[in-house]
Chain A
Amino acid sequence: MSFDIIKYPDKRLKQISVPVDVFDFKLQGFVTELEKTMRAGPGGVGIAAPQVGCFQRIVIVDVSGMRKLPANSSNKGCMVLINPEIIEWDGMVMGREGCMSVPDFTGNVIRAEKIAFTAFDAQGTQYEFNSEGYEARAVQHEVDHLDGMLFLDRLVSRRTDLFKRKVYKQIKESSLPGEG
């Protein structure tokens, strides 16, 4: 059995989820069903509990099944992240995102290139992780759901990209005087 996905404009997707404080069989059973739901979706590399109507801070990310995982992406396999907290952000990169809760639309979003984050597993043990590239993007996308944020809240203009920033960075790195 897998859950039904809540789709925007369902307002529940905009609410903030609460931390998990009981790590029991019920939680583990829910995580199993949540993972089945993620895998039932086409191309889904992550899912957050609010997408199935459970407003607790639980996400799953797994980029390992991607046909062409970009070379700069970390790949830790299936990560069950409970009460995840991103503690470090590094770099910025634009990428295209879609969402099972927002069918038939994708858009460009700027995310941190590398992140460090902590999370508990389904048994209640806390870990610290580092992710980069596509996997880091997936974690940020899913953690956003826990705070009632959709990728629609972070879309960048079709005329915006990192072109100017990259040029500036190159100039800075080669010690030429920059704008200012």
Chain B
Amino acid sequence: MNKHWYMITLVGKDRPGIVAHVTHALYEGSCHLGETSMMRLGTSFTMMMMVQYAGTMNALQKVLQGEAESLDFHLHIDSIEGGLHHHHQPDVRISIYGADRPGIVAHATGVLSEAGLDILDLTSDVGGTEDAPIYIVRIEGRANEGTVALQSALAIIKKEGVETQLTPVDTLVG
């Protein structure tokens, strides 16, 4: 039987052992993991996993249903085109930080997108104290219109009262 690619999303309250339980259930269910992203966000644990599986989406749902219910996790599955070995290499790393307020990511990514930034990876955190939180965004991406355009975009973003830094990424191949 042909194997299909699925994207599994699982979200729930964080506790030790989640990854081991979920991936064991997938392994026992004859699933093959592709690229994944698993991380704690706030007090939740989030998992996004490319999975190759020979059965239908309903059958895959059954593979994980018991584990998801016992963990009290929300489970969502999409059928995807899939495929591995399609990495895009970043050529720029950008950090943006400042006093937390709504709209930092929306405004920054809007201006950067217009300047040709293709985001490959973005993580953001809230640090500082509860009284004076700071927002920290880290982006890796591709500067499709060059880094000068992105520097100009960051100058605009900086006027909003956040700090920005752009570092070219020159991947060494040795």
Contacts and interface: CB of A to CB of B under 8 A. Distances in A.
Query: Do these two chains really belong together in a complex?
Result: yes
Interface of A: 41-48, 61, 66, 68, 70, 95-100, 104-106, 134, 137-138, 141-142, 145, 151, 158-159, 161, 163
Nearest to A47: B174
B90 A96 contact: yes
B87 A105 contact: yes
B81 interface: no
B95 A137 contact: no
Contact of A158 (B95, B121, B170, B173): B121
> Helix, strand, loop or mixed for chain B's interface?
strand
Contact of B173 (A41, A70, A145, A161): A41
A141 B87 contact: no
Contact of A137 (B90, B93, B138, B172): B172
Contacts of A61: 174
B39 interface: yes
Given A105-B87, A161-B138, A163-B95, A96 B171 contact: yes
A66 B168 CA distance: 14
> Helix, strand, loop or mixed for chain A's interface?
mixed
Contacts of A134: 170, 172
A98 B123 contact: no
B136 interface: yes
A97 B87 contact: no
A100 B174 contact: yes
B153 to A, nearest CB: 20
Given A105-B87, A106-B89, A159-B39, A100 B121 contact: no
Given A105-B87, A163-B136, A45 B39 contact: no
Given A104-B85, A158-B121, A99 B174 contact: yes
B169 interface: yes
Given A96-B171, A105-B87, A163-B95, 20 more contacts: A42-B173, A43-B173, A44-B174, A45-B174, A46-B172, A61-B174, A68-B168, A95-B169, A95-B172, A96-B89, A96-B170, A97-B173, A98-B173, A134-B170, A137-B172, A145-B174, A159-B138, A161-B93, A161-B138, A163-B136
19 contacts: A44-B174, A47-B174, A68-B170, A95-B170, A95-B172, A96-B89, A96-B169, A97-B172, A97-B173, A97-B174, A98-B172, A99-B174, A104-B85, A106-B171, A142-B174, A158-B121, A158-B123, A159-B39, A161-B95
Contacts of A137: 172
Contacts of B174: 44-48, 61, 97-100, 138, 141-142, 145, 151
Nearest to B89: A106
Contacts of B171: 96-98, 106
Q: Which of A41, A45, A96, A106 has the most CB of B within 10 A?
A: A96
A97 B172 CA distance: 5
Given A104-B87, A106-B87, A163-B95, A96 B123 contact: no
A56 to B, nearest CB: 17
Contacts of B168: 68, 70
